[in-house]
Amino acid sequence: MSDKSTSSKTPAATATETPQVSSPPRKIYPIVKYGDPILERPGAPVKKFDAELEELAEDMFASMYAAQGVGLAAPQIGKSMRFAVVDVTCGKNPEGKIVLANPEVTHAEGEVREEEGCLSIPGFRGYVVRPQFVTVKAQNVKGEPFEIRGENLLARAFCHEIDHLNGILFLQHLGMLKRDMIRRKIKKLRKQGEW
Ligand SMILES: [Zn+2]
């Protein structure tokens, strides 16, 4: 999912700050755009929880932050698997980093209508009704099962990313007129070689 805010960047680190342990350089994946069939195909369950998956998770966080998103699903980087990362703090709080392997919504409550965007559909947004609260059951990067509850933006991000793993894009939650308008504009952009 794309970030809501367009302004207020964190100020650059000052010289007086304690030097941090440098992490290995991360692979920044290009984001697959709408029109690629991988985005509309359900992903395969994650079965192998190894060092490679841990690398993938960290590279996905880095790719998501680079694209200023709050969620990124594996199909969006060309990997058809049930794997996603979410961080609604945009990297500001390490505790905000959530890895979801084989996630499922087990409980949903309330409704919130809010504007939503997607890193795979850049430049387009639309109002989508999502639950206000959700409970998600998933496995972490080590394969350990856990349950997490999300509210508002976090609930929205969970639903948006889990949709991706089922081959569903936010466009499918829009009204027909709005959806067709966005599709037409993307078609035009593609013809012009701008998509
Ligand atoms: Zn998305």
The CA 97 to ligand 1 mean position distance, Å, reads 17
Q: Give residue 176's identity as a one-letter amino acid code.
A: M
Give the span between the Cα atoms of 96 and 129, in whole angstroms: 23
Digit-by-digit pLDDT tens for the chain (195 residues) are: 887 654 444 444 444 555 556 677 899 999 999 999 999 999 999 999 999 999 999 999 999 999 999 999 999 999 999 999 999 999 999 999 999 999 999 999 999 999 999 999 999 999 999 999 999 999 999 999 999 999 999 999 999 999 999 999 999 999 999 999 999 999 999 999 999
> Which of the residues 58, 109, 147, 161 is marked catalytic?
161
Which residues, including other chains, have CB under 8 Å from residue 122's CB and lie 6 or more apart? 2, 33
Confirm whether 161 is a catalytic residue: yes
The CA 158 to ligand 1 mean position distance, Å, reads 10
Neighbouring-strand partners of residue 101: 83, 139
pTM, whole model, 2 decimals? 0.89
Give the span between the Cα atoms of 54 and 34, in whole angstroms: 27
The CA 118 to ligand 1 mean position distance, Å, reads 4
What is the pLDDT at residue 19? 53
Say how many residues make up the chain.
195
